[in-house]
Chain A
Amino acid sequence: MTKNYEVKPGFSEPSQRVKALKEAILDTTPRIEADRARLITQSYKETESLPQVLRHAKALEKILTELPVVIRDNELIIGAATVDSRSCQIFPEYGPQGLDQEFDTVATRSADPFAISEDVKKELAEIFNYWKGHTTSELATSLMSEDTKAAYNAGVFTVGNYHQGGVGHLAVNYEKVLKGGIRGVIAEVIQAIKNSDHSAPDWVEKEQYYQAALTTLKAVITFAHRYADKARELAKYTNDSTRKTELLKIAEICSKVPEYPASNFYEALQSFWFVQLIIQIEGSGHSISPGRFDQYMYSFYENDDSITQEEAQDLLDVLFVKFNDLNKLRDIGTATAFAGYQLWQNVNCGGQTKDGEDATNALSYMEIESMAHVMMSMPSLSIRVWNGTPDDFLIKACELSRLGGGQPAFYNDEEIVTAKVNRGETLEDARNYAVIGCVEPASQGKENSWCDAALFNLPKVLEIAMNNGRLNGKEFGPKTGEFEDFKTFDDFVNVYVKQMKFAVGLLVRADNAVDWAHYELGQLAFVSTLVDDCISKGKTLERGGAHYNFTGPQGIGSANIGNALMAVKKLVFDDQTLSMKELKEALDHNFGKEEGIAATSSDTAYDAIAEAVKKVLGENSSFDVKNLDLSGLSSGGTSTAVASPEKSKYQKIHDLVMAVDKYGNDKDEVDYLARFGSRVYCEELEKYATPRGGIYNAGLYPVSGNVLFGTYIKATPDGRYDKETIADGVSPTRGTDTLGPTAAANSVSKLDHFIASNGTLYNMKFSPSAVAGSEGVQRLAALIRGFFDRKGGHVQFNVIDKQTLLDAQAHPENHKDLIVRVAGYSAQFIALDKTVQDDIIARTEFDSF
């Protein structure tokens, strides 16, 4: 029987239990624990003669058998990676991830600090010593060519994510475990062994994998049974009769799942969590995304007569809090860029079924409710929208947006499904895409999309094109002529394309080196059993076992490319206001701004990241810090005028450049240049194959790399100053879209989202008052529908808080696109008189509740 869900406006209060669980996590100081690192190292010392896949499987077996078993107060869904909540284990097999340099500072750093005891420091130092020379990161480095490293170090791209850590980025087939139990997966492996030709040349490799898979699967059952024992033991010693009942129930459930199929909603949630947890104990890769949770969980809710909607909601809330029990250590640069202890466990809801019917069900709505109840940094929620999505569902999701946490994000099935089919997926598999990590769509349980393979700096390539192929003054790309000598706009465009081909070629070599390192040293047996066709092929994910394989690097700075090309076209070639020489000279003089100071760098996040970048670069000997003067970055806006007559000349050129049409205002010419500039990148990438047997699949989204990448680039013809941040995702350059949200969204929709099939990301900002009332959320829903009609891929809303409005008052140049509701109309915030602004700020405080 279908379970109905009655949609009501607004959100209810979470239970006391949920509040207590949440508080317990937020009150804990995250800590670094050494158990996993110790256990894997002990195991590796005992297995030196075995192949890597078996060594790692045996290590996981040891970890799951000996890792401390912890059930926290009030918990109903149990299973933890660490003794303290929100703490982290260490994965020495990938490399120290900067920790060996940070032992004494990691507890006090500003971004994502972790406490660490002296004993743990000492132990980990010895462990890192054992691993020296045997990690995936060192192997990957050794496989990279010199010119690849030069491009990497100069910020043309970074492949740091999988170079320094695990890959992750999967939405596995959880349903297989929920419905068939781990025993079902074991049976599948045994069947595959029977089906194999043991005299075939590939059997040796296959057999290693099957043995490894069976070892880990059995260890998963052991792990759950240890929790059952622990719960029984705790039940014995508690005087609280309610808690005793709960613990005995937990014991009963853990004796059953994930070993056997789940038979009700509670069991299914617990079974799910064991899988989710163990994947993140096995490898260090983040973005382990539950994906289409409302789809594979629904039958367990639908057929469960023992549970009310309120009870089910409470259990779901409890699970959503539990996602925050996990944590991961990153080096300070990465942590500063992605602050907030984020693992990108992305939960989806809505969209279409494999058959193309609407997939929205009661659990889809309940996921939104849980997000409102929990309001923590994880999970991320992705709303899949297609033309058949019920309006009330979309509006409910918009109500969540209005709460201001930046959640959920909205995805366009009408674009993404087509894009996936274009990459060779069947229609059914494409319809079954799950959003992983930030914005990346991957067919659930079938795809190893390697979707955060790199960040690629599009404007840096433009800079190389403007410098005859030189990279920061050194010979690098093909010699394509000096900027001053280009006779036509097409000359310039063609050179950009040529340099792009060259730089993309190097990016692919870097990614393939990292890929090979994981092929050699990073095979993970357990998680590979949960993605088709690893078992039938007898290959791990790392060796190409998945049904679909891709490598997905992200281009950043589409807006800068569009605006730069437009400025050159208009000022130099169309109107002939400037010569190439004059423009080049102005760029070389940073448009007359004192060196190193970014005009729009005044927000604190930017300063913090710049500081962190400086520190990281200082610690890595392969970067030449002297060439990268970041001294001005943290002093945003304190530029002092240089009293030379040239100064005003270059500033005038800057004024001319800024007056040229900018991407984000629904002006076709510049919007299509942005489309062209980013398309060149995507088209070039898709020509390459990955070592795992797939193709390259470009995305256009930034994570937070846009700030970092800006520091590598001198002034650009779009009016961007030296080292200033570049545009995020497919969003317009901050402050240059001035005609409101519909105009900006139209511009964004003119990019080719289909070819950027690894995902695009568009951020929109609103004040709370602009989305107030039922009309406010309806308008938000209409904006999404309108943007998706034009085949935009993704949008998320930033409902602005008071702090931002204050910042907009202080630094109006950064907030030109901020639309607020005034009285009988809406207006651009910075255009308002200060008293009106003050009034809105005062109102906003109320609105944001």
Chain B
Amino acid sequence: METIDYEKKACVFNIQRYSIHDGPGIRTIIFMKGCPLRCKWCFNPESQSYKPMKDFGTMMSVQDVFDEIKKDQGAYRRSGGGITFSGGEALTHPDFVEEVIKVCRMSGWTTAVETEAYVPEKTIHRLVPQLDYVLLDIKAIPSDLHKEGTGVTNELILQNALIINEIAKNVVVRVPVIPTFNYSEKQINYICRFAKHMNHVETIHLLPYTDFGKSKYKMLDRTYELEGIKPLSADDLLPLRELVEGHGFKCVIGG
């Protein structure tokens, strides 16, 4: 029996039950607060800072989280579901996430992470083998474009992507499709060509841009840089889906 540090704490900004599109079965998502990226389209801008602010974010212990996530254990058991870590960037809380993974392993629940992989390589090596599913965001291949859209360059991300490909049990690539950024055949082509180097990736999810985070920027006294850009519909992405499928991947719009 491995020891679990139930007292360890981190800032969690939401725990959402009955999540059904972020890994198999019925899942609970733990949204960890804090993110190294600053994506212009981010629809959870309140999750970017690592500190609790206003009403967003609570310091929670592993025990607190366990008490909450175990409420749906019957649904996990019956659906093959479990826990998905999201954020923010969950993997920037490696110690905390590892303790929660242990709790899940003990209880027999599957674990998944939704990550953009902008974390030290050693974190990837430490946590990814312990997770059942990795939903890996790849937003753009040209580094300058990536920096323009997210505030950081992508060398570390792409390098980690190749490692994840080697050591993850299951990996899916997810692409938020954003007008003015990567909403073009050219950019999606780049991503597909990179993904072909990840021989364990079978499926790519295309997530259409939505602007429903817009109002939160006002609340946080920040400017929404994508003001005026219309959300994409699933239909808008049909040509891109064909393109992705042309590369030999399964493609899901929405994911």
- Choose one: B81, B205, B210, B211; the contact of A822 (CB below 8 Å): B210
Output the nearest chain A residue to B206 by Cβ-Cβ distance.
Answer: A824
CB of B254 within 8 A of CB of A823, answer yes
- From B13-21, B94-102, B142-150, give the one contacting chain A: B13-21
Residues of chain A within 8 A of B46, CB atoms compared: none
Interface core residue of B26, B75, B255 (most chain A CB under 10 Å): B75
Asked if A806 lies at the interface with its beta carbon under 8 angstroms from chain B, I say: no
CB proximity of A849 to chain B, nearest CB, Å: 16
Q: When each residue 636-672 of chain A gets 1 if its CB lies under 8 Å from chain B and 0 otherwise, what string results?
A: 0000000000000000000000000000001000000
- Which residues on B sit within 8 Å (CB–CB) of A821? 20-21, 254
When the two chains form their complex, are residues B18 and A743 in contact, meaning their CB atoms are under 8 A apart?
Answer: yes
Q: For residue B210, which residues in chain A have a CB less than 8 angstroms away from its CB?
A: 822-823, 836
Min CB distance A812 to B, Å, is: 15
CB distance from A597 to the nearest CB of B (A): 30
- Within 8 Å CB of B80, what residues of A? 782
Query: How many A residues face the partner with a CB closer than 8 A?
Result: 32
Residue among B75, B208, B211, B234 making CB contact with A786, cutoff 8 Å: B75
A243 interface residue (CB < 8 Å to B) = no
Query: Cα distance A785–B72 when bound, in Å?
Result: 12
Q: A823 to B207, Cβ gap below 8 A?
A: yes
Q: Are A746 and B79 in contact (CB under 8 A)?
A: no
> A812–B18 Cα gap in the complex (Å)?
21
A832 to B231 CA separation, bound complex (whole angstroms) = 13
For residue A743, which residues in chain B have a CB less than 8 angstroms away from its CB?
A: 17-18, 71-72
Q: Which residues in B have their C-beta under 8 angstroms from that of A197?
A: none
Instruction: Tell me, yes or no, whether B22 is within 8 Å of chain A by CB.
Output: yes
**Which residues on A sit within 8 Å (CB–CB) of B21?**
821, 824-826
* Contact status of A823 and B208, CB under 8 A, knowing A742-B26, A783-B75, A839-B231: yes
Asked whether, in the complex, the Cβ of B207 is within 8 Å of the Cβ of A836, the reply is no
B26–A836 CB distance below 8 A: no
B22 touches A825 (CB 8 A): yes
Chain A residues within an 8 Å CB radius of B17: 739-740, 742-743
- B190 at the A interface (CB under 8 A): no
Residues of A within 8 A of B22 (CB): 824-825
The answer to whether A742 and B72 touch (CB under 8 A), given A822-B210, A825-B19, A833-B211, is: yes
Q: Least Cβ distance of A748 to chain B in Å?
A: 13
A778 at interface (Cβ–Cβ under 8 A)? yes
Q: Give the contacting residue for A666; candidates B16, B71, B77, B233; CB below 8 A.
A: B71
Render A778-801 as a binary contact track against B, CB cut-off 8 A, 1 for contact: 110111011101100000000000
Who on chain A is nearest to B176 by CB?
A: A824
Give complex CA distance A822, B18 in Å: 14
The residue from A775, A785, A824, A833 contacting B254, defined by CB atoms under 8 A apart:
A824
Of A746, A770, A778, A839, the residue contacting B233 (CB under 8 A) is A839
A779–B79 CB distance below 8 A? yes
A835 close to chain B: CB less than 8 A: yes
Nearest chain A residue, comparing its CB with the CB of B232: A823
- Give the chain B neighbours of A741 by CB distance below 8 A: 18
Whether A826 and B19, one on each chain, are in contact in the complex, defined by CB atoms closer than 8 angstroms, is yes
Chain B residues with CB below 8 A from A740, complex form: 16-18
Contacts A742-B18, A833-B215, A835-B211 supplied; 13 other A-B pairs, CB < 8 Å? A739-B17, A741-B18, A742-B17, A742-B26, A782-B78, A783-B75, A786-B26, A819-B18, A823-B234, A833-B214, A835-B231, A836-B212, A836-B231
What are some 23 contacts across the A-B interface (CB < 8 A)?
A: A739-B17, A741-B18, A742-B26, A743-B71, A743-B72, A778-B79, A781-B78, A782-B78, A783-B26, A783-B79, A785-B78, A786-B74, A786-B75, A786-B78, A787-B74, A789-B77, A790-B74, A821-B21, A826-B19, A833-B212, A833-B214, A833-B215, A835-B211
Closest 6 CB pairs of A and B: A782-B79, A740-B18, A786-B74, A785-B78, A782-B78, A786-B75
**Chain B contacts to A: CB under 8 angstroms:** 16-22, 25-26, 71-72, 74-75, 77-81, 174, 205, 207-208, 210-212, 214-215, 231, 233-234, 254-255
